[in-house]
Chains A and B, each alone.
Chain A
Amino acid sequence: MLKVLKSGFYTSVQDLGRFHLRNKGVPVSGVMDELSVFKANTLLENEITDGVLEITMTGPTLLFEEETYMVMSGAEMTATLNNQPIKNYKVYQIDVGDILSYGKLEEGFRSYLAVKGGFEPKRIYDSVSFYKPISFANRLMDGDIVPFHYNKIFKPKISEIKVDSFLGETVLEVYRAPEFDMLTDSQLTVLFSKDFTVAKENNRMAYQLNEKLDSHTVSMLTSATLPGTVQLTPAGKLIILMKDGQTTGGYPRILQLSDRAISILAQKREGATISFKLL
């Protein structure tokens, strides 16, 4: 078990998400940056669907009450294990009583903590991902306990990998989404030649962008959306839906981010620059 001594800004348990309830309005949820989580779970020889902690902006302080192995990935945050500095993409053996604390966010926005066997809070509709009202809370609080199942015979085969970081990448590769054809020449020019910046309104549900396109009057009936769908509001605002985003919407869907682009965007914070590249 893991005890949360201090929860940090926004720390939750996530896996790859909760499927087959979108037709009842339930968002998929799951980790925002799948690329970083794949690597951490792979190093621990976990299932790709095992639960990890998603740690946003300011990290928690955590006490291990059981032995295990752990890997950190995603955003670069300074961190110490029993006051010794540790780094991302390296396997650490954990003893009972070890304390992991996070310090400064250096690059990126979301850091991940994986343990051997995965975090296993209550599984609801085949997922451990936090999303209220499916789960009891949206995020961990001070004093919470998170169970995990460590198999004692595990010995890591690889202790460390060097990762080509994508944290500095700014180009989001996109596909056409259903209302792409409504875009005017002037909107297309702005969309694919200008830089955009992440607005203050950014969270697990959606990222808004500061710069606008020309306004429009296209109206449509409510229809399905996906994580990574870029919506264009009548006022010309761009809203990119993320993992906790609503499953249907009434704004035209102009672009769809690639899986990799969702991971890149998930590591951006307010003010970060991005641009779109059509595949």
Chain B
Amino acid sequence: MKTLAIHIKPFGVHAILIEWPNEVNEDILNTILQFEAFLKSNCLEGSDWEYVPAYNSLLLINKKLNIDFKSFSDKVNSWYHEMGTKVLKQRYLWKLPVSYEMEFGIDLEEISKSLKMEISDIISLHTKHIYTVYGIGFLPGFMYLGGLPKVLEVARKATPRLKVIKGAVGIAGKQTGVYPQESPGGWNIIGNCSVPIFDATKEEPCFVGVGDQIQFYSVSRAAYDLHKIEAEVGIYKLEKIEIDA
């Protein structure tokens, strides 16, 4: 495999940014995650390093260090070229239950009109596709998901809502995702995910990592309510499938 070019950029004295070609692309994301794993296990010592991957970039942060850009970027470059393709991070496909009932899918009717598509077809398209997590940010546990079918692309709402409820599943432009907390938001809401994407009572608050995949499946109102209660008492179990990277 041809090595993708990287571009290293300064970002203050405690961080350094590594950039790959400016594209939304699984190969690029895989390379980023491989390099992150390689840096963690082979290059950067100590527990003070933090790594924030997203789309085509990886930020390395160490608040306790003053990084000399020139010498550190030279090192990063040579590490990148030393990296084999063996270092792989275990990744998962998560199946997330969603109720697409009208009570939750408050914009389904409007989208159905603007896309000239039956609501049942919107739901089946949304649940058929597998989405890749290209980043987590904006809010704790907010996943930037890529892979929305082109026919489901619809503009974000002209006026954002002041309050979108926790778990709301939305679509906007090329993106789809789940609001992990109640927040303002401009996406078109089509359903509600009954299991929390972010749970601060857990030792690991967010089961999803960048590079994982998400597939939604439609559940009945009764199953939704049951999941909700299971989540409240902390016994919900998600279906996850290992992916070969």
Residues of A within 8 A of B (CB): 19-27, 124-125, 133-134, 175-178, 220-224, 226, 228-229, 246-249, 253, 256-258
Contacts and interface: CB of A to CB of B under 8 A. Distances in A.
A224 B140 contact: no
Contacts of A178: 9-11, 17, 19
B205 A222 contact: no
Nearest to B8: A178
B200 interface: yes
A256 B11 contact: yes
Contacts, number: 112
Nearest to A175: B12
A248 B52 CA distance: 9
Given A20-B50, A23-B210, A26-B140, A226 B22 contact: no
B54 A248 contact: yes
16 contacts: A23-B209, A23-B210, A24-B136, A25-B142, A27-B140, A178-B19, A221-B54, A223-B19, A223-B55, A223-B57, A224-B17, A224-B52, A224-B54, A228-B12, A248-B136, A258-B12
B11 A133 contact: no
A228 B15 CA distance: 12
The main secondary structure of chain A at its interface with chain B is: loop
B50 A22 contact: yes
B4 interface: no
B201 to A, nearest CB: 9
A21 B63 CA distance: 14
Given A220-B22, A247-B137, A133 B54 contact: no
Interface of B: 9-15, 17, 19, 22, 24, 50-57, 59, 61, 63, 134-142, 144, 180-181, 198, 200, 205-206, 209-210
B117 to A, nearest CB: 28
B206 A24 contact: yes
A108 to B, nearest CB: 24
A59 to B, nearest CB: 29
Given A22-B50, A25-B140, A248-B138, 11 more contacts: A25-B198, A125-B200, A178-B17, A223-B56, A223-B57, A224-B52, A226-B11, A226-B59, A226-B61, A229-B11, A248-B136
Contacts of A223: 17, 19, 54-57, 59
B11 A25 contact: no
Contacts of A23: 50-53, 136, 209-210
Given A124-B200, A223-B57, A224-B17, A25 B138 contact: yes
A176 B69 CA distance: 11
Nearest to B181: A133
Contacts of A247: 52, 137
A213 B111 CA distance: 37
A226 B55 contact: no
B225 to A, nearest CB: 22
A192 to B, nearest CB: 17
Q: Give 5 closest A-B pairs by Cβ, nearest first.
A: A248-B137, A256-B12, A224-B59, A224-B52, A221-B55
Contacts of B22: 220-221
Nearest to A255: B12
B57 A19 contact: no
A19 B198 CA distance: 16
